[in-house]
Structure formats: C-alpha cells, structure tokens
Amino acid sequence: MTAEQKKEEQPEFIQFRYPREVPYEHALGYQSKFANALKQGRIIATKCPVCGRCTIPPRIVCPFHHVKQTEWVDQGQRGRLISAFKINFPMFNSRTGELQNWENPIIAVELEGGARMDGWCAETDPSKLKTGMLLEAVWRPEEERQGRADDILHWKPVEE
Amino acid sequence: MAGRVGVVAVAQTKFEEKKATEHTAELMYNVTREVMGQTGLEFKEDGTGIDATLAASYDLFSGPAGAYMFLGYVVGAYRREDERVLEDGSLAVYYGAMQILSGHVDTVLLVSYNKESSVGKNLIEWVGMDQIYQRRIGLDFVSAAGLQAMRYTTKYGITPEQCAKVVVKSHRNAANNPYAMCCDNITVEDVLRSTMLCDPIRVQEAKPTPVDGACAIILASEEKARKITDKPVWITGFGSCYDHHELGYRDLADCEALTTAAQRAYKMAGITNPLKTFDLAEISEQYAYQELLWSEGLGFCGKGEGGKLIDSGKTQMGGDLPINPSGGMLSGLPVCVAGMQRVAECVVQLRGEAGDRQVPGAKKAVAHGVDGPAGQLQCVITLEN
C-alpha cells in the first residue's frame, strides 16, 4: 500500500465551530420568590400541604402527591452534611462558562427547615468531612448576588 | 385491535406572544390539573387513575437538552411509566393511542408545552438541519418553507391572492376562539402588502413567532372512557409518515409523506371520501401556502387544486369542510404544541363545546400535525363522536 493510499484510508473527521451566543430567557414565574430571597441572603423552600416535605429548588407540585405547593418555609442558615465528593477533572463554571478545576467538594446539605440542597464546602480536605456535621452558609457579598444557587459561596463547618 | 381509544378530556392555555410571568412548569401544571379535574382521575397505582404519562416538547426551547428530566414531575412523571415525544404533539396522541391499544395501560395523560419566547426559533430550527451540508449554507425551516412555497406555487400556478386568503380566513376564524392570539379583520391586500419574509412567503403568511402555551389530553380505553365521561370522542384512525430530510430528494410541490399518512389513517377509519366525510379539519399550517398543499395531501382536493379549494369557499366556516375553525397555526400556536392542540380542537368541536367557533352538528373531524423542514414528518388523526 502506498503512502497516498494509506492516507486515503485514514478516517477523516470534520470539526465545526459556531462561535455565537445563544441567549435564553427563562421566565422564573413562581420561582421568583426563591431567587429574591437568595438576593436577601435567605433560603426558602416550597412545602407540600399533604406530607409537609420541603423542596429546593422550589417545585410547583410535590412529586409524591401532585399537589400545588403554595406555602414557602424559611430554611435557616445551617444544615447537616448528607454527602460530599471532590471532582478530579475540570468542570464548567456557570458564571464564566469556562472549564475549571474545583478545589471545593460538592456537597448535599439537609437544612434546618428540612429541605435539601446542593452546594460547595469551604473545607477542601475531603477526609475532614463527616456525614452529619454541622455547616453554615457563607454568602457572596450582596452586590454580587444574582438570585442563583451559587449566591451561597460555600458552606463552612461549624464547631459543636 | 383491542377496542377503541377515547379522548376523555382536553385543555389548553391561552396562546400568547410571551408569558413573561409564568415558568414553563406553570403552563404544564395548569393544563395537567385541568384535564385531571375534568375526569376526576388522579395518579394512582391501583389501576383506577392515570396509568402513564407522555409529554411532547422540544428540549432546546426549554434550555438544555434533556430539560424534561427536571420538568417531568409536573405532569406526574414520577415513579410511573413515562414516555417522551421529541416531535410534534400529534405524535404523542398517536403513541398514547398505541399504548392503550397494546393493552399495556388503560389511561394516558398527554401534555405538550413550548415557550418559543425563551430562545430564537430560527436558531433552533437551523440546528435541526443536517450539520455537514445544510447548516453550512444557512438553511433552516423558514428557508426550507420558502423553497417549498416557490416550487409549489410555480408548479401549480397557485396565486399570491389564494395564499393570502388563507391568512384572512385564519384570522377571522380566530376571532371566535378565546384561546387564539391573532384575530383581526386583515384583508388580502394587507397580507400582500406585508414585508417579504422568505420569497414568496410574506410576514403575514407565516405563523406568528414567538408563541407560548401548552395543551393536555387524557386518552382512555373504550371501557374506561365510557365510565369517565358521557361525551367520549373516539380516535378512529391514525397514520404518520417520515419523508427524507434532504429537500432535494423530494418534489417539494407535493407532499407524499402526508398523502401516505392520511391514507393510513383513512384506511384504519374506513374513510374513502375525506371531503364529504369530515365536518371539519384542524391542520398545522405554519405558512399560508401549506394549508393549500396539506389540503391536497389530506385528499380534500386533487394535486395542485389547493388554490381552487380556497377559492370555492368550501373551507370557510359554513362551507362543506371548514378548515381550522380555531384559526390554526397562522393565528398563533407554538410549534410542537400545535399538533396536540389540533386534536384538542377537534375534540372540543365533536363534543359540541366550541362556542362561537362551533361547526354545527360536527360528527367527524381530522387533525393533522407536522414537523421538520418543509413538512418532513406528517401525522394524521381521525376522530368521531
């Protein structure tokens, strides 16, 4: 086989780049209440009128009972660690759109009000994270808050 | 076939340009609870409620691919059987009916939703084109429609006035429909004076964009349907057909896929003369010329006779076969929701509950949905009371 024939048999790939922004406008609707609370440094959750379960992100219906959730409950500033893991590969930063390494473990927290939410932990050493440990929300400065989940900069362990 | 499939409830939102204060989940929730309220059905595991859910939506309009994964719970897709249709909502009705006919479930809740206002529709439809060839030359669904309109009107001598008459009819019919977005006394001259969008399609001859809204339907097996409502509407036939994506592989002046889909549905329903059989048709015309072309595919007239059909007045309210008493897509419907809403409109008519847009004594109707560039995917559903 000649070098030319060999070249023709090589699989060929095409790569397209469409460098443009795709602006989405998502109406928050009933979720506006949650976003506004975050801007004020508060965490609130929707509550099912049947089972009393609180949900974050706020949901229009309780998935268990398919009942409209109109009650909002303050969840406090503290919660207990449910689970944690550290990402060992680059992931997107939603604020910059860039790939980055994440020093802070991603965690799931059960809040004082009963709802569960995700976030980052201030403690970067995973060996120091224990299920059930008490954590407290650390917020971005008020002027940086956008009413989004990452308005909470991270959760820091609290000594008991 | 294991008995018939009945439509036991339908609901739709008002269709508006931009529902700025409502989350997509709110549109879904409102129509879901409305059909559940009409039937008294709840989500139950004991076979006495809704057995399965089926949603039709385009995730790219809702945000990320897979957006339904965090919206499905709103329609009850939580720890129960759920199916997705990433195509026109008429296909959801088709699949829902198939689920029931299979004997696997007795009741299916169908929901279709779209907020076109979330993102540019042209961009999404451009992404829908083959990425190696068609996207490279900028083809999207509007330009595909332009090619089809030019080919169709040229081949058969369809006049701009005949296309404009479709818009006039649509907007006037929509005036009787409280859910419709565009209703006015637009004239043929107004349509022909409007800006050229994509030669020969003028702005007024295209479906308004964006439009936000949702629709829901509950289907039930014959036995269940009779228990749930005293006014069931029966699905008597359905057919769908996929054409080739490449526009050059088809003669765009004809719509063979629709002809095939219609023939399948008519065969199932035992229909040989659709123009005489049906009391009304609710079809998906995103552009004015499409009502004429789809009328040919649906067998309401011969090939190339769509222009003569609108001239005859047969498709007006009061004519032999009113097409789109609701105003149709030209009066403002979101893509994807349109096909399911066409079925819902037929059901409202066959229940005699269409108010000012009611076709008196309607017994049989045909609904039509479409997807893809220049009508690539066609779906036809026949119904009777």
Cβ distance of B78 and A63 shorter than 8 Å: yes
Mean pLDDT, chain A, rounded, equals: 92
Looking up tokens 């060929």, which residue turns up?
A: A12
| In a domain? residue A13 | no
Work out the average pLDDT over A40-55.
96
Predicted confidence band of residue B128 (pLDDT cuts 50, 70, 90): confident
A149's CB contacts (< 8 A; 6+ apart) are A38, A57, A117, A118, A119
What is d(CA B200, CA B108) in angstroms, rounded to the nearest whole number? Answer: 42
Nearest to A26 among B29, B63, B131 (CB): B63
* Residue B40 pLDDT: 95
- Is residue A39 one of the residues assigned to a domain? yes
Instruction: Categorize the per-residue pLDDT at B147 as very low, low, confident or very high, splitting at 50, 70 and 90.
Output: very high
Q: Is the pLDDT of residue B44 over 90?
A: no
pLDDT of B111 > 60? The answer is yes
Confidence of residue A47 (pLDDT cuts 50, 70, 90): very high
Distances (CA, A) of B133 to A2, A16, B60, B224: 31, 11, 21, 50
Q: Is the peptide bond before B322 cis (omega within 30 degrees of 0)?
A: no
Please report how the helices B89-101 and B337-350 are oriented relative to each other, as an axis angle in degrees rounded to 10: 70
Phi, psi of B30 (to 5 degrees): -60, -45
DSSP A31: G
Q: Which of A18, A26, A69 to mutate to test the interface with B (most CBs of B within 10 A)?
A: A26
Q: pLDDT-derived band of residue B2, with 50, 70 and 90 as boundaries?
A: low
Amino acid at B327: G
Q: Is the pLDDT of residue A7 over 90?
A: no
Q: Alpha helices, DSSP H only, in chain A? A: 3-9, 32-39
pLDDT value for B290: 98
User: What Rg do the C-alpha atoms of chain B give, in angstroms?
Assistant: 19
What is the three-class DSSP state of B296? Answer: helix
Q: Domain total for chain A?
A: 1
CATH T-level topology, domain B5-120+210-228? Peroxisomal Thiolase; Chain A, domain 1 (3.40.47)
Q: Token digits for A135?
A: 């954590």
Instruction: Evaluate if residue B1 carries a pLDDT over 60.
Output: no
Report whether pLDDT(B132) > 90: no
A17 pLDDT more than 90: no
- Tracing tokens 């909470």 back to the chain, one arrives at A152
- The residue written with tokens 């992100």 in the block is A57
Task: Sort out which chain A residues have CB atoms less than 8 A from B76's CB and list them.
Answer: 66
pLDDT at B134: 85
Do the chains contact at A26 and B118, CB–CB below 8 Å? Answer: yes
Asked whether the beta carbons of residue B119 and residue A66 sit closer than 8 angstroms, the reply is: no
The Cα of A88 is separated from the nearest Cα of chain B by a number of Å equal to 24
At A3 the pLDDT is 78
| Cβ pair A75, A115 in contact under 8 A | yes
Distance CA A139, CA B149 (A): 57
pLDDT at residue number A149: 87
DSSP 8-state assignment for residue B357: G
| Whole-number pLDDT of residue A20 | 78
β-partners of residue B371 are B377
The span from the CA of B316 to the CA of B170, in Å, is 9
- Between B86 and A72, the more confident residue is A72
Contact between residue A28 and residue B22 where contact means Cβ atoms under 8 Å apart: no
The C-alpha of B135 sits at a distance from chain A's nearest C-alpha, in angstroms, of: 10
Residue B161: burial class (beta carbons within 10 Å; 0-12, 13-18, 19+): middle
Contact (Cβ atoms closer than 8 angstroms) between residue B146 and residue B200: yes
Say if the Cβ atoms of B26 and A29 lie within 8 Å.
yes
Segment B11-31 mean pLDDT = 95
Give the pLDDT confidence score for residue B67 in this predicted structure. 79
A100 contacts: CB under 8 Å, gap ≥ 6: A90, A91, A92, A93
Provide the pLDDT for residue B332: 96
* Domain-embedded: residue A2: no
The mean pLDDT of B232-260, rounded to a whole number, is 96
Q: Per-residue pLDDT tens for B324-341?
A: 999 999 999 999 999 999
In one-letter notation, the amino acid at residue B205 is E
With beta carbons less than 8 A apart as the criterion, state whether B65 and B131 touch: no
Strands of B62-119 (E only): list them: 81-85, 107-115
pLDDT for A15 equals 83
Average pLDDT over residues A15-25: 82
pLDDT tens profile A68-117? 999 999 999 999 999 999 888 998 887 788 899 989 999 999 999 999 99
> B372 pLDDT band (50/70/90 cuts)?
very high
User: A22 to chain B: which residues are within 8 Å by CB?
Assistant: 119-120, 123
Q: Give the whole-number percent of chain B exceeding pLDDT 90.
A: 84
Would you place residue B197 in the very low, low, confident or very high pLDDT band (cuts 50, 70, 90)? very high
Q: Which amino acid is at A36?
A: N
- Contact assessment for residue B201 and residue B191, using Cβ atoms and an 8 Å cutoff: no
What pLDDT does B136 receive?
Answer: 83
A141 CB-near residues (< 8 Å, 6+ apart): none
Q: What is the mean pLDDT of residues A154-159?
A: 96
SS3 B249: helix
If you search the block for the tokens 């609904």, which residue do you land on? B367
* B251: pLDDT strictly greater than 60: yes
- Whether the ω angle into residue A58 lies within 30 degrees of 0, i.e. cis, is no
- Residue B354, pLDDT above cutoff 50: yes
Domain residue ranges in chain B = 5-120+210-228
Which residue matches tokens 């709840």? B42
Beta strands in B222-357 (DSSP E): 233-242, 280-282
Which residues constitute the domain of residue A118?
A: 29-157
Q: What's the confidence (pLDDT) of residue A6?
A: 75
Task: State residue B265 phi and psi, 5-degree precision.
Answer: -65, -40
- Reduce the DSSP state of residue A151 to 3 states and report it: helix
The reply to whether residue B73 touches residue A59, judged by beta carbons under 8 angstroms, is yes
Centre a 10 Å sphere on the Cβ of residue B2 and count the other Cβ atoms it contains.
10
pLDDT at B100 over 80: yes
Q: Do B63 and A66 touch (CB under 8 A)?
A: no
DSSP β-bridge partners for residue A108 = A83, A118
Chain B residues near residue A66 by CB distance under 8 angstroms: 42-43, 76, 78
For residues B232 and B130, is the Cβ–Cβ distance under 8 A? no
ipTM greater than 0.95: no
Distance from CA of B374 to the nearest CA of A (A): 24
Cα B353 to Cα A29: distance, rounded to the nearest angstrom: 31
For residue B42, pLDDT beyond 70 = yes
Mean pLDDT across chain B: 95
